[in-house]
């Protein structure tokens, strides 16, 4: 499982075995700032029982519009541009056989899974990704700076920046 798929797994709804799964996936991450941020997320989650983690997940990712994990929404709100972006993402997810698992095509989970399958992120996604992730992080950290998901969003942001730097070196 690649880096972006691991980060996507951490955004999924908690279940009794999810923490053990994430601990195992963490071992696959290379040492560095992304792994450190991911470990900070896991440390924060370890301090919670399953019910508290479920409540935190829902409060953070489902009920907190400033931190809503939708790239198109963070970029354009509910507008025609987002609709166009959703359509483009839907086609890309279908082409690369990425399941949305009931989420909209601009949700971070399918977006990260798509990034894991692409050799090079397409420009329309790359243009909006960093800005959207930064808005998610800002909204989340302003609402609850101690929330472990801030560290997970940091890991996602670092991974995107690292991927962009690698892409620019290839061309």
Upper half-sphere CA count for residue 155 (Cβ side, 13 Å): 30
What are the tens digits of pLDDT across the range 92-150?
Answer: 999 999 999 899 999 999 999 999 998 877 778 888 999 999 999 999 999 999 999 99
Task: Please tell me what DSSP assigns to residue 38.
Answer: H
Phi/psi at 57 (5° precision): -60, -50
- C-alpha–C-alpha distance, residues 146 and 151, integer Å: 9
Residues listed for the chain: 171
Band (pLDDT 50/70/90 cuts) for residue 47 is very high
- Residue found under tokens 């507008």: 79
| pLDDT value of residue 131 | 93
**Mean of pLDDT values over 11-28:** 95
Q: Give the number of other Cβ atoms within 10 Å of residue 43's Cβ.
A: 11
Band (pLDDT 50/70/90 cuts) for residue 154 is very high
């Amino acid at each position: 499982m690649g880096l972006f798929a691991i980060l996507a797994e951490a955004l999924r709804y908690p279940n009794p075995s999810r923490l053990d799964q994430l601990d195992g996936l963490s071992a696959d991450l290379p040492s560095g700032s992304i792994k450190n941020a991911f470990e900070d997320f896991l440390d924060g989650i370890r301090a919670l029982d399953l019910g508290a983690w479920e409540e935190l997940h829902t409060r953070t990712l489902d009920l907190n519009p400033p931190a809503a994990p939708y790239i198109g929404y963070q970029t354009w709100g509910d507008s025609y541009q987002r609709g166009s972006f959703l359509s483009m993402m839907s086609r890309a997810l279908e082409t690369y056989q990425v399941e949305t698992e009931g989420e909209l095509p601009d949700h971070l989970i399918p977006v990260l899974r798509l990034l894991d399958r692409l050799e090079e992120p397409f420009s329309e996604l790359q243009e909006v990704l960093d800005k959207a992730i930064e808005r998610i992080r800002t909204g989340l950290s302003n609402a609850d700076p101690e929330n472990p998901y801030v560290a997970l969003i940091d890991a996602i942001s670092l991974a995107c920046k690292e991927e962009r730097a690698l892409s620019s070196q290839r061309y």
